[in-house]
Amino acid sequence: MGALALLEPALLARESVSARELARDEEFWFAVRRAYDITPEFIHLESGWFSPVAREVREAQFQYMSRLNEITSFYYRRMYDDEKVRIKRRMAELAGLSPEEFVICRNTTEALNTVILGLELERGDEIVWCEREYPSMKDALEQRAERDGTVNKVIRVPMVPETDSEVVELYEKAIGPKTKAILVSHMIYLTGQILPVRKICDMAHARGVEVIVDAAHSFAHVDYKIPDLNCDYLGTSLHKWLGAPLGTGLMYMRQDKIAKVWPLFADRGFAKDDIRKFEHLGTRPATIEQTLVKSIQFHESIGAERKQERLRYLKNYWVERVASFARVVINTPMKDHQSCGIANVAIEGVEPKAVADYFFDEHRIFTVAVDMGVRVSPNLFTEIRDLDALVRAIEQLSTPATSAG
């Protein structure tokens, strides 16, 4: 029996249980864990890069790969176009979009480079962004500035703001007569901080400024539909929190914006205002797009809200236990609307890399050191005992007797 079928009785038995209550039902989440093949070699708390696909999704992918290998270009010549329509319709439902306003691409990097490098901007036009944006987008913005004379206005946003308006005001203050766009991460990759993107978009639109959202970490992690953000452009990686095969992403563009953005890969076969002009990438493995439907089914069988609540519960579980330890600094805001499953921890006097190495070398806990601390990103397969191990590791390292560098 497949994993999805196995999950069904567990879900049926809990139909009337709220997502918040279910978040702490270890028996249920153990059933979810069994849908994955997770290595026993270490405790995996680094899901921020990408998620594994559930076993059932991987098996579907293998079948698609075998079939494509049998029929080769017959698939692309006779079947791909129709399949693409079907796959996009399914993706559209999940994202709350119409198929005419997004493309399935390879990842966030591709989606947002397309927007950043494709927007019509003149010398002196300004783009506002915060210093903790993802490096690939900063590079794209800096390359654009070097090549075309656009101006980057980089702001600092507090890591733990008191209110949303404090953040929105920082973006608003940075807007000048030449500002054309804001680039903003929905969830900052270093700390898991969620920025008030909807409020930033509403403010920016009132000032005639467009907003490009980097939703790499928020999509299928936090429970929302893309139109809820009211943004103009958005990119995300479906291999992160949706658990789709590596190499799947989504680029959204408001329909009235499509005509003015140049694709990175030219395609003269479509009108300027047709989103499909962005679909041309040359030959690519259609099998990952086919498998996407199975990933969506898996995600929906658990449910977006239940997933969000479980991920938030896992983060709260370990953070609440370590926050009072001496020398421990939590670099993530803890109000529900300000973060979800990811948090960042630092230990005063110990370099983040030494902390991550200590976790791995002494406790077999895999995390990643980033600028200001160690990013911890659990997943649906995380067990409470994994987090208890993390808490013990932090406790040992933060007590004065221990030294890891």
Ligand X SMILES: Cc1ncc(COP(=O)(O)O)c(C=O)c1O
Sites of contact with ligand X (CB under 6 A): 49, 107-109, 134, 136, 185, 189, 214, 216-217, 237
Give the separation between CA 92 and CA 24, rounded to whole angstroms: 31
Chain-centre distance of CA 157, in angstroms? 20
Q: Decide if 372 contacts 191 (C-beta within 8 A).
A: yes
**Nearest-approach distance from CB 136 to ligand X, in angstroms:** 6
Instruction: Rank residues 23 and 343 by Cβ distance to ligand X and give the closer one.
Output: 343
Give the separation between CA 48 and CA 189, rounded to whole angstroms: 8
**Nearest-approach distance from CB 235 to ligand X, in angstroms:** 7
Q: Decide if 318 contacts 391 (C-beta within 8 A).
A: yes
Instruction: Rank residues 97 and 184 by Cβ distance to ligand X and give the closer one.
Output: 184
Instruction: Rank residues 136 and 143 by Cβ distance to ligand X and give the closer one.
Output: 136
**Nearest-approach distance from CB 134 to ligand X, in angstroms:** 3
**Nearest-approach distance from CB 328 to ligand X, in angstroms:** 24
**How many CA atoms does the CB half-sphere of 256 hold within 13 Å?**
3
> DSSP secondary-structure letter at 187?
B
**Nearest-approach distance from CB 115 to ligand X, in angstroms:** 12
**Nearest-approach distance from CB 185 to ligand X, in angstroms:** 5
220: left (phi over 0), alpha (psi -120 to 50) or beta: left
37: left (phi over 0), alpha (psi -120 to 50) or beta: beta
Token couple for 216: 């790499």
